[in-house]
Structure 1
Amino acid sequence: MASQTINFTTWNVNGLKRQRDQKFQKLQNADVVFLQETHIGVGDEHIIEGLKNKWHIFYTTYMSRKGSAILVKKTLDFEYISDEKDDCGAYVVLKCKVKSQLYTLVSVYNHGTDKKTLDKLSSYLQSMTTGLLVIGGDFNTVLNPFIDKDNSKRVTDTSIHRKLRFCVKKFLKSLQLVDVWRRKNPVNQNYTFNSQVASRLDYFFFPEECMWRVRSCQIRDSGMRDHRPVYLEMGNVLFQKDLHVQLFSQLFNHKKHILTYETGSSLGKESPHALSEVDIVSAVNSLQVSDTPRPDGIPVSFYKDNIQVIIPYIKMIYDRIHSGSFNCSEKHFNETVKSPHDNSQHFFNVDYLVIATILARRLDDYLESQSKGRVPKDLATVMITPKTFCTEMRLSHIQDEIEKQKRSNPTLYQDFLIVKNLLRDAPEADTESVDDSSERDKLLDQGCPLTPVLIMLALKLFGSALAGHLKQQDILVFKESVILCIQPEDLEKVLAAVMERANEVFYVKELYRGNFNGEQLKCIGNEFKDKDCAEMDAETFVNTEEESKASWTSREDEEDDFVIHKEENISVEGDGRHTMYAVVTLQDSDEVVVAPTNWLSLDKKQCYWPPFKSPDKCMEAVQNRIKTETGGKPWEKLNISFHREHDTFEKAKEGQKETKEQKERSYLLATGFPGILKRQRLESTQGMSNNYLQPLPAVTPASTSRMTADEKDELLQMLRDIKSTVQENRAMLKKLLKDNTVSEAPSSTSVPSKAIKANLKLPLGTFEDLAMSEKELSTATTRKKYVKFLSGLGGFGPKDVIKNIMQQVITDDLAKEFNWQGRGEKRPFSHLSLTDVIRDAAFKRSVNRAECENEIKKYLSYTADRLGRKRLREQGGPGLENPNEISPSLMPETEIPWDILGF
């Protein structure tokens, strides 16, 4: 997998007949350039042809002031495939390979008089795009008239601009495109066109699912009049393709068979609630054809090429989801794979994306219908925009909206219910205090078509809650933000109510203060350069003490917001400093932790504590001082010992460390206990030694005092490691017991029938055994026996599941002859029918295809290491296959008083 960077530039040059060389001096650092208004007519070809010594050039020739071009630097690794040029000079489409990556590059000049150019271009790109789609150009309209133009002059938005904006938005929706600069700069105001009214008319558009590739996007000064160029830096990432085209049909048929078998439905039946073919085809065509990995390995191109086969399958799945008989999480329909280059990016299967796209468009249409077209000039305007497009989401904040549609719009109500089914469940809280009947939080994943529209819906409802009681208010929903329009006299009150959450959930920006008593008030943000961003953040988003006190108190009993937010309960020390965090010891575990002061009781003897399993999530909750509830239910209160308070999280962490060290020293100096353990270094030839832990003589207070600081630190760290292992084993045992008690499916500790194993003649030890097994696996009955046996082996997580399966399937002596691709002198494990069986068995244990293959590769690569340790053991030498598996005979006879050490 190769990763590189490519620099794109789009620029309306307002003609190349004048100052051509000076303009190209500004493009020295660009690899690919999109130009508009080149003004190259018949007889003017020499103007641009003269650049061919440095650039590959593709341009239109037209007798007008229009014209588009794409230039690729000749020093770039470039391979031409094809190009299409508009007869009227509106666009150039170039299909090519750049640094071995397939691209469809589009330079667009959307003139104000054009009405059909974008519709034609959209239809073409939906069916003909290959590789990554990158669109740059001048579209002659602003997408958000409140922030994409200088409103200090309050110029009226004309009907021409509204029509152009509608065309551009329709174009973006048809291909699931994102305004890259606005996504990267959610609150900045910067313009590319500076004649008359400064506006942002020049854009880079990029597919939503591929946005993780974008490194940066900037508007830069060209030193020329009129338009300014937009720069885009993008990672050029190549994914390995392990599948061949002929396997896609087999994979799809296998998946279709599993789903139809598990749901008990038939492709021949059609519900009255089925999706229309028009919606399905439109959604499939809007998806991007690229090498993006999928959990099931089936690419978008297969769906586009086999649309007639796909339609009844999508209808069947949707019908089952609509009827409530298909749980997307339980059936792994909404499973994802993460990008190895961006941990926040999730890749979904194409069938999921199709249904999610259709529902996202319906919700988007609903949101647009709720926005009024015009807003009175006298109203003040405030913009609210989210800081992130991937987060955990509580659906409780839109529950009222869902119920409101139950009578007025039953179809939309059903769509909301399907959306809830489609979203992935957030990690379940690990606590008995959370009611099992409470609704699970949902995940909004970057890469899911529903994420942007659900965040916009949440933002709209938040704005409605802020201003719903006001005499006059309007809320307009745009692609990346909502605009709240209110009476000028209500502005300060609304800002005070919203500012407290600005640093944590979303950005808020005052755009215009309106007219009050016939006088125009201050207008903010006429033009912001990139360099002004830091100053603007400091000036706009910092909460003052007065704002914090005046903020959310009037609505503390109303519904919760859709993501984590702060609950301010700040105490003040004698010197006037705010104390935001406290260092406490949880008495039930004797663990020293940092806790927000608003989680503590007034007497500081108890503290709320979050029920999350994930330590990272707990840490985030502490840092953000979130409300002490999950799913609307308060957390459990724990008894604590209070130590000290601090004004910042960083100082509290230092205080936590000091408190821990103080407790540990007190114990070491005051108490001796036999059986202290010490880590011993091992010879490199021994591997992981079985004398990992050795008992030492008893330690007395006097001998402890003679220990150096490093020795004490080493001793304490070793004890922490041991206790951590004990706690992990305890949690694992607890889960094992739970699974064996409540699960009807084979638990992770279930032991497959010995009769079945004997019948299958596993593990395979020779090539003859393997050949016989491959022959047997040609029958469906034998495959089912293998899958049943191997899926019953269990395990915790992908690594454990695959390890258990591989140990039963093949001996290390035979495994050492294989690697995944068959490189070198070894044979390809990926080509075996046995590998398909392992995938199916792993899938039944909730291990997706990508995880399964990754763990098999690792298992095969470690075969030599396992064989080496095995020989050491046979020769009587030290060696542990798993360093965490410590023999009981090596542990000390005396139990270590862990609770005293404060772990």
Structure 2
Amino acid sequence: MATQSISFITWNVNGLKEKKAHKFQELQNSDVVFLQETHIGEGDKHIIEDLQKEWHVFYTKFTSYSKGTAILVRKRLDFECISDEKDNCGAYVVLKCKLEGQLYTLVSVYNHHTDVKILEKLSRYLQSMTTGLLVIGGDFNTVFNPFIDKDNSKGVTDSSNHIKLRCCVNKFVKSLQLVDAWRRKNPVKQEYTFHSQVASRLDYFFVPEECMWRVRSCEIRDSEMRDHRPVYLEINNVPTTLFQKDAQIQLMLNLKIKDLLTDETGSTLGQESSHAVSEVDIVSAVQSLQVSDTPRPDGIPVSFYKDNIQDLIPYIKMLYDRIHRGAFNCSEKHFNKTVKSPHDDSQHFFNVDYLIIATILARRLDDFLESKGLGPKKSASVMITSKTFCTQIRLSCIKDEIEEQKRSNPTLYHDFLIVKNLLRDAPEAETESAEASAERDKLLDQGCPLTPVLITLALKCFASAMSALTGCLKQNDILVFKQSVILCIQPEDLEKVITAVKSRDKEVYDTVELFRGNVNGEQLKCLENESEEEASDKCLKMGEGNWVFDECDFLSIINEEEDISMESDGRQIMYAVVTLQDSDEVMVAPSHWLSPDKKQSYWPPFRSPEKCTEAVQKRLKPETGGKPWEKLNISFHKEHGTFDKAIEAKKEIEEQKEKWPFLAGLPGILKRQKLESNQAMLQPLPPVPIPSTPRMPANDKEELLHMLRDIKSTVQKNSDMLKKLLKDNTASEVPSSSSLSTEDVKTSLSLPLRTFEDVERIERELNTASSRKKYIKYLSGLGGFGPKDVIKNIMQHVLTDDLAKEFNWLGRGDKRPLSKLILADVIRKAALKRNVTVVNCETEIKKYLSYKADRLGRKRPREQGGLGPEIFNVASSSLMDNQPKKGIHWNLLDD
């Protein structure tokens, strides 16, 4: 007896050579496994031999350490291999087979971030070679919806490469009419499969739209392995449907054509209207349909259309033309008749000729709806989605959209009219009036290509109505994704919009607040994404650090209250005030011209100042004829919500520079950083001579002296507070790990590690939860003030200097990768207990390992200096020991 369901797993294992036994164990509950990043090369035959004890193994061999895919089928299944196809670059494996008597085409994909054409090649192959149920699983290295498929709490935007990959994956999905199975089952849930600096959902299972009824469940599961989490899929394994024989198919098709030819219009096959469908659209739609065991009302399978497409094109063209002209009533002719799945009442199966026309129309509407290349903004965001995937809609809900297209896009308007004819009518009510009958509900059936795009269109129309109702949204603030719409709202308008949406949704839509926006450059709230540790870290940054200022911020100290009032309205940041370093000119630039680190900015190549100003004011895309503009080095000052406010800030900075010209030429005065706890107090710096400058007027001189004394007083208070904090901190300065004695470390924990054998031993020990908990507790108790000091204390207790020099974070060159050890996870969790985020922890570990050789030569005492009444010295406690110390010596009392 055939198995009623088959369980699949797709997992990026990040190499099968390490922790092999543990990874094999995680696969035990699955029947079929798709693996990515196997890293299998010519010399790894032993790994395959171990797998072949329990699995049929189909895999790629590739030299790169970042690639490799495999499909494993458990030997206990009734399995028959028909054929397998492997990419010579390790990107995919395609297996056509029988599982428990049913036909399947299984595909394991690793879409490397540098591959932009591999999916196009794979799509062409699958369009013509798929048999049975198509199941695709893999790591696609991008997200579909950056608002909900990525943790945006850290404010990291998508790179251009990710956006390019997203376009490739979207095109791949459309070409085969695939569904993201996890998202369809979890329309509003936010879970991630990849955890690094930014958590994202990069791993997917795809099945054809018509076959979604066979998906029993799809879920992302936890794993003790870091980075990628596995995705599980359970498929109903039901018997195939017998198709009609070729003679019966031909007879049925002849009857359809004859019925079309005997229409009262008397049209013939050779006539076409001005809105005739093209052969390219027809062939593309046919190729996108899957050859599966789907039953059809007329019994004609997809394979017949694919094999005879050239002969059937005239028939499809004429059918489309009749429907377009209203000469063919789909309901009366039973053209939109369906067969319900015997296993799922919500699934409907249509005739192939209906699917071809519906696919063509769905693609046109989808191209019209889709928001391209857009990602999270700094404003608040709200997602609206349909509560049920298949529902009844009244055409009145998209009537305004149809009328709008009648005026602006007549071709698309005609497509809407065909859609209206194609959809099935809802059952007529016994007491239905003539007016209600004319505006009859239409049925959106799961399995119809038009259903997803019409749901999205209804959501867009609903969002547009909310925009008109509240007056808080513009059309470009409404972003459209697959079966969901994102509203980008100014923080102060959020409650008003939410109230309006919930009062009008009539329990048809789900509304989810994703993000409450930024005010004064700080994130108000990021729902469901911000952990307690991250919130604690944010509070520490805002309230406890000793903040100092760099050269770009010096003038903003004077006008600090005014700057805060300018940004307190919460409006989205649009413009930045910068100084061009080559010319020392203060300028205004659109914020999106700036690099992420705000050290460079695109600049227009126009000779005309008026044209440059126009480019800035209109926030033009920084390119001419598709070629990006040159980037200039800048010093960043401030960001503002409007062009006028940015111009005002620019004038103020220019006035201050004119008033005190010597400030412009100074090196960086101070560096804005959190104070490192391993220095007990602020260390004064040796004076740096000031270039000769014009003598200041007495009043200005007195004003500046007064200001500097205030700053000095503030620094002194910070120093006193720091002394007290360090005095209270029980953790003392940790000596070099190379000099640690066994008495300094609990002998039961066997630290520090001195050899690679010690590392292997502790990895075995850390396989148990109790051991990990013990080490986390000990390491988190070592203390420290700030990320650098916490990590330094931990690393010096964990690794001797000699052993630390043999590691780096990713294992590049001849070093070993610390990131792949369970020990690294323990360090992260210990640091988290000291309010050090995962990102900061990994950054400090990388620095510690990178500069280990330098650190050994820099164990020397530091000279102390004083703060004289006529000399103002400011020191940054976080300067690296081997850097020349910078300072400022202003003798303001000398005539």
TM-score range, shorter chain: 0.5 to 0.7
Counterpart amino acid of residue 513 in structure 1: R
Which position in structure 1 is the counterpart of 2:353?
A: 351
Partner secondary structure for residue 115 of structure 2: coil
Which position in structure 2 is the counterpart of 1:140?
A: 141
Please give the alpha-carbon distance, in whole angstroms, between the structure 2 residues aligned to 1:192 and 1:207. Answer: 22
Partner secondary structure for residue 364 of structure 2: helix
Per-residue deviation, 1:87: 0.4
Structure 1, residues 380-429: CA drift from partner, whole Å, max 9, x if none?
Answer: 00011112221111000111111111121100000000000000011112
Say which is worse superposed, 244-253 or 191-200, in terms of deviation: 244-253
Equivalent runs, 1:59-208 vs 2, <5 Å: 59-65=59-65, 66-208=67-209
Which position in structure 2 is the counterpart of 1:659?
A: none
Partner secondary structure for residue 4 of structure 2: strand
Per-residue deviation, 1:198: 0.8
Which position in structure 1 is the counterpart of 2:365?
A: 363
Which position in structure 2 is the counterpart of 1:380?
A: 380
List alignment gaps of at least 5 residues for structure 2: 532-895
State whether residues 285 and 356 of structure 2, in contact with CA within 8 Å, keep that contact through their aligned partners in structure 1: yes
Please give the alpha-carbon distance, in whole angstroms, between the structure 2 residues aligned to 1:96 and 1:373. Answer: 38
Residue 16 (str. 1) matches residue 16 (str. 2): yes
Counterpart amino acid of residue 438 in structure 2: S
Partner secondary structure for residue 435 of structure 1: helix
Choose which of 509, 513, 517 in structure 2 pairs with 1:506: 509
Please give the alpha-carbon distance, in whole angstroms, between the structure 2 residues aligned to 1:527 and 1:336. Answer: 46
Choose which of 287, 301, 318 in structure 1 pairs with 2:303: 301
Residue 427 (str. 1) matches residue 427 (str. 2): yes
Equivalent runs, 1:815-830 vs 2, <5 Å: none
Partner secondary structure for residue 262 of structure 1: coil
Please give the alpha-carbon distance, in whole angstroms, between the structure 2 residues aligned to 1:297 and 1:61. Answer: 43
Residue 311 (str. 1) matches residue 313 (str. 2): yes
List alignment gaps of at least 5 residues for structure 1: 529-903
Please give the alpha-carbon distance, in whole angstroms, between the structure 2 residues aligned to 1:181 and 1:376. Answer: 22
Please give the alpha-carbon distance, in whole angstroms, between the structure 2 residues aligned to 1:484 and 1:417. Answer: 28
Which position in structure 2 is the counterpart of 1:531?
A: none
Please give the alpha-carbon distance, in whole angstroms, between the structure 1 residues aligned to 2:320 and 2:131. Answer: 28
Equivalent runs, 1:199-598 vs 2, <5 Å: 199-241=200-242, 243-262=244-263, 264-368=266-370, 371=371, 373-374=373-374, 377-431=377-431, 433-435=433-435, 438-468=438-468, 469-473=470-474, 474-500=477-503, 504-526=507-529
Please give the alpha-carbon distance, in whole angstroms, between the structure 2 residues aligned to 1:432 and 1:231. Answer: 47
Could you say if the C-alpha distance between residues 34 and 372 of structure 1 is closer, same or farther in structure 2, counting changes exceeding 3 Å? Answer: closer
State whether residues 130 and 289 of structure 1, in contact with CA within 8 Å, keep that contact through their aligned partners in structure 2: yes
Aligned residues: 526
Which position in structure 2 is the counterpart of 1:40?
A: 40
Per-residue deviation, 1:375: 6.1
Per-residue deviation, 1:31: 0.5
Please give the alpha-carbon distance, in whole angstroms, between the structure 1 residues aligned to 2:473 and 2:272. Answer: 48
Structure 1, residues 486-540: CA drift from partner, whole Å, max 9, x if none?
Answer: 1111101111122356683122110111112443211112179xxxxxxxxxxxx
Please give the alpha-carbon distance, in whole angstroms, between the structure 2 residues aligned to 1:502 and 1:49. Answer: 58
Say which is worse superposed, 56-65 or 264-273, in terms of deviation: 264-273
Could you say if the C-alpha distance between residues 104 and 365 of structure 1 is closer, same or farther in structure 2, counting changes exceeding 3 Å? Answer: same
Counterpart amino acid of residue 422 in structure 1: L
Please give the alpha-carbon distance, in whole angstroms, between the structure 2 residues aligned to 1:472 and 1:394. Answer: 25
State whether residues 68 and 92 of structure 1, in contact with CA within 8 Å, keep that contact through their aligned partners in structure 2: yes
Per-residue deviation, 1:433: 4.2
Aligned sequence identity (%): 75
Please give the alpha-carbon distance, in whole angstroms, between the structure 1 residues aligned to 2:486 and 2:402. Answer: 22
Counterpart amino acid of residue 64 in structure 2: S
Counterpart amino acid of residue 461 in structure 2: L
Please give the alpha-carbon distance, in whole angstroms, between the structure 2 residues aligned to 1:375 and 1:286. Answer: 28
State whether residues 54 and 75 of structure 2, in contact with CA within 8 Å, keep that contact through their aligned partners in structure 1: yes
Per-residue deviation, 1:341: 0.7
Partner secondary structure for residue 526 of structure 2: coil
Counterpart amino acid of residue 278 in structure 2: S
Which position in structure 2 is the counterpart of 1:886?
A: none
Please give the alpha-carbon distance, in whole angstroms, between the structure 2 residues aligned to 1:130 and 1:266. Answer: 36
Which position in structure 1 is the counterpart of 2:667?
A: none
Could you say if the C-alpha distance between residues 510 and 271 of structure 1 is closer, same or farther in structure 2, counting changes exceeding 3 Å? Answer: same
Say which is worse superposed, 358-367 or 381-390, in terms of deviation: 381-390
Please give the alpha-carbon distance, in whole angstroms, between the structure 2 residues aligned to 1:60 and 1:290. Answer: 27
State whether residues 336 and 350 of structure 2, in contact with CA within 8 Å, keep that contact through their aligned partners in structure 1: yes
Please give the alpha-carbon distance, in whole angstroms, between the structure 2 residues aligned to 1:472 and 1:260. Answer: 51
Please give the alpha-carbon distance, in whole angstroms, between the structure 1 residues aligned to 2:407 and 2:125. Answer: 41
State whether residues 183 and 480 of structure 1, in contact with CA within 8 Å, keep that contact through their aligned partners in structure 2: no
Per-residue deviation, 1:3: 7.3
Partner secondary structure for residue 51 of structure 2: coil
State whether residues 393 and 443 of structure 1, in contact with CA within 8 Å, keep that contact through their aligned partners in structure 2: yes
State whether residues 467 and 486 of structure 1, in contact with CA within 8 Å, keep that contact through their aligned partners in structure 2: no
Partner secondary structure for residue 487 of structure 2: strand
Please give the alpha-carbon distance, in whole angstroms, between the structure 1 residues aligned to 2:433 and 2:451. Answer: 30
State whether residues 137 and 205 of structure 2, in contact with CA within 8 Å, keep that contact through their aligned partners in structure 1: yes
Please give the alpha-carbon distance, in whole angstroms, between the structure 2 residues aligned to 1:249 and 1:210. Answer: 26
Per-residue deviation, 1:378: 2.6
Per-residue deviation, 1:465: 1.2
State whether residues 190 and 527 of structure 1, in contact with CA within 8 Å, keep that contact through their aligned partners in structure 2: no
Structure 1, residues 794-835: CA drift from partner, whole Å, max 9, x if none?
Answer: xxxxxxxxxxxxxxxxxxxxxxxxxxxxxxxxxxxxxxxxxx
Please give the alpha-carbon distance, in whole angstroms, between the structure 2 residues aligned to 1:426 and 1:204. Answer: 33
Partner secondary structure for residue 50 of structure 1: helix
Structure 1, residues 703-761: CA drift from partner, whole Å, max 9, x if none?
Answer: xxxxxxxxxxxxxxxxxxxxxxxxxxxxxxxxxxxxxxxxxxxxxxxxxxxxxxxxxxx
State whether residues 130 and 290 of structure 1, in contact with CA within 8 Å, keep that contact through their aligned partners in structure 2: yes
Could you say if the C-alpha distance between residues 381 and 258 of structure 1 is closer, same or farther in structure 2, counting changes exceeding 3 Å? Answer: same
Per-residue deviation, 1:99: 1.1
Please give the alpha-carbon distance, in whole angstroms, between the structure 2 residues aligned to 1:259 and 1:358. Answer: 20
State whether residues 158 and 375 of structure 2, in contact with CA within 8 Å, keep that contact through their aligned partners in structure 1: no
Per-residue deviation, 1:272: 2.9
State whether residues 6 and 233 of structure 1, in contact with CA within 8 Å, keep that contact through their aligned partners in structure 2: yes
Please give the alpha-carbon distance, in whole angstroms, between the structure 1 residues aligned to 2:27 and 2:507. Answer: 38
CA RMSD of superposed structures (Å): 1.8
Counterpart amino acid of residue 339 in structure 1: S
State whether residues 186 and 385 of structure 1, in contact with CA within 8 Å, keep that contact through their aligned partners in structure 2: yes
State whether residues 3 and 238 of structure 1, in contact with CA within 8 Å, keep that contact through their aligned partners in structure 2: no
Please give the alpha-carbon distance, in whole angstroms, between the structure 2 residues aligned to 1:71 and 1:44. Answer: 16
Counterpart amino acid of residue 445 in structure 1: D
Please give the alpha-carbon distance, in whole angstroms, between the structure 1 residues aligned to 2:396 and 2:157. Answer: 39
Counterpart amino acid of residue 327 in structure 2: S
State whether residues 276 and 317 of structure 2, in contact with CA within 8 Å, keep that contact through their aligned partners in structure 1: yes
Please give the alpha-carbon distance, in whole angstroms, between the structure 2 residues aligned to 1:502 and 1:97. Answer: 46
State whether residues 8 and 234 of structure 2, in contact with CA within 8 Å, keep that contact through their aligned partners in structure 1: yes
Please give the alpha-carbon distance, in whole angstroms, between the structure 1 residues aligned to 2:344 and 2:2. Answer: 14
Counterpart amino acid of residue 294 in structure 1: R
State whether residues 294 and 336 of structure 1, in contact with CA within 8 Å, keep that contact through their aligned partners in structure 2: yes
State whether residues 375 and 485 of structure 1, in contact with CA within 8 Å, keep that contact through their aligned partners in structure 2: no
Counterpart amino acid of residue 176 in structure 1: Q
State whether residues 180 and 217 of structure 1, in contact with CA within 8 Å, keep that contact through their aligned partners in structure 2: yes
Counterpart amino acid of residue 46 in structure 1: H
